[in-house]
Structure 1
């Protein structure tokens, strides 16, 4: 449903307004008055601001990750757990 966007069947009116707002923020980096009004019909001002902040934060994070060419983590269960080396023991004098 997410790939089909906010017009896909199955979304509630609240979910549709939120998805439309996030899509607009992603593509236009702005919300027009109509979209803000639609969002506010389902969220109070604080929630609407928080949704904007969250959507823009993820956009910023994705931009930084892409710019720095950070490789994605491997899928779960594939090399995530590595055997840790036992900590070095200190000699009685405190030297390693």
Structure 2
């Protein structure tokens, strides 16, 4: 059971409209969203600071950032949601999805640009900065707007991990589970 009970339908019309804008048709709002919506302030701040729009990164790179950040923070809830809803659309193979959790940035399944991206994500997670070599590597493949987006996504999804993990949110039905290290 989650530590804070999420809202249950029916939702207030304004809240339902928000859910309808961010959820695919026919998919009920995520438990995370319904839990945050128990506090108008938390829900408003989450939406205002969120990165639920497309942004300057292609979907594939965006999902690599999110999946790796969620894996590093051991946020099975959000990792599972993103893998279930976006991995195929982002063109991530099963090997790559598994690698977001279990492999180093240098795993052979990634392109050179993706290896630089994953090394940058790892560095931000572990040290909250990049050394010159890491920055030079990511800068070789991504422009300034994309680099800023990487930083913002890492920070935002770390916050999402704090919420999902801290609230002990149960995994959503039909979402992916962390792979076993075998």
The answer to whether the superposition gives a TM-score over 0.5 is yes
Paired position in structure 2 for 1:17: 116
Q: Which residue of 2 aligns with 1:55?
A: 154
Q: Distance in 2 between matches of 1:74 and 1:28?
A: 34
CA displacement, residues 27-71 of structure 1 (integer Å, 9 cap, x when unaligned)? 222222221111001101111111111122111100121112222
User: How far apart are 1:10 and its partner, in Å?
Assistant: 3.0
Q: Which runs of 4+ in 1 moved over 3 A?
A: none
Q: Which runs of 5+ in 2 are unaligned?
A: 1-95, 176-182
Distance 1:54 1:43 in 2: 15
- In 1, Cα distance between equivalents of 2:160 and 2:113: 26
More helix by share: 2
Q: Which gives a bigger RCO, structure 1 or 2 (Cα 8 Å, sep 6+)?
A: 2
SS of match in other structure, 1:11: coil
TM-score using structure 1 length: 0.68
1:73 aligned residue:
172
Distance in structure 1 (CA, Å) of the matches to 2:104 and 2:111? 12
Gaps of 5+ in 1: 77-96
**How well do the aligned residues superpose, as a CA RMSD in angstroms?**
1.6
Deviates more, 1:22-31 or 1:57-66: 22-31
